[in-house]
Amino acid sequence: MSTGCGAPVLSPADVPDPTGAPGDGWRPAPRRGDPLADVRVRPAGRGDLPGLVALVKRCSPDTLYRRFHGASGTPLQRELGRVAEPGTDHRSWVAVTGRCVRGTATLAWGRWGEVEVAFLVEDAWIRRGVGRALFRAVARAARRANLPDVVAWVQADNDRAVRFLRDVAPGAEVRFAGGGELKVTIPVPSPLASLAPLPPPASAPRRPAPAA
């Protein structure tokens, strides 16, 4: 279905979840005057590509630079295609109001074992809690995947993003990584991790085999 923002209307059930886990469709409890009352966060799917393209068109060059680090043209289109196409090594969420995509977040499993997270909220919707709502969906998925932490790469002068990440994840560790970038390591509190049985110490005596 074509819409005012070029995005289709999908229910969470329409969107495949590569982990096989139930969808993350999440709608904050509406409150009177709450700017998030109409915002819904759900996993991104193939049908979201037009909405993502429209989102990017509404973003300022600075906002796009903060998220895509200078990628434009074909590389940017490719990245949007990736956002809209969940895979075994990445999945994304969109924050939508009606038929418009207002923001998106992606969790991507890197080659070196690190799992990266990236956020984008359109200029007219920043500072309304959309980023936080997306973070909640990402954090839930990260917890389900039993990840100890996720990493965000942020330009060193992107104060807004650093403040945002510190705000949503008070335990976040920010380190200068060179090349004008900060590596923000965000711990994922996992109740499962604390319940996991500890491996026996290397020197522990072996349990004798049961007698035949």
For ligand COA, the binding residues (CB under 6 A) are 35, 63, 66-67, 118-121, 126-132, 152, 154, 158, 160-161, 163-164, 167
Residue 22 or 98 having the CB closest to ligand COA: 98
Tokens 């074509």 belong to 2
Residue 84 or 169 having the CB closest to ligand COA: 169
Min dist CB 135 to ligand COA, Å, is 7
Beta bridge partners of 116: 108, 151
Min dist CB 126 to ligand COA, Å, is 3
Amino acid identity, residue 43? P
Distances (CA, A) of 83 to 49, 58, 107, 194, 201: 8, 17, 9, 32, 43
Min dist CB 198 to ligand COA, Å, is 35
In sequence order, the 6+-apart residues with CB closer than 8 A to the CB of 25 are: 11, 12, 40, 41, 42, 43
Residue number, nearest CB to ligand COA? 131
Min dist CB 48 to ligand COA, Å, is 17
At 4 the three-state DSSP class reads coil
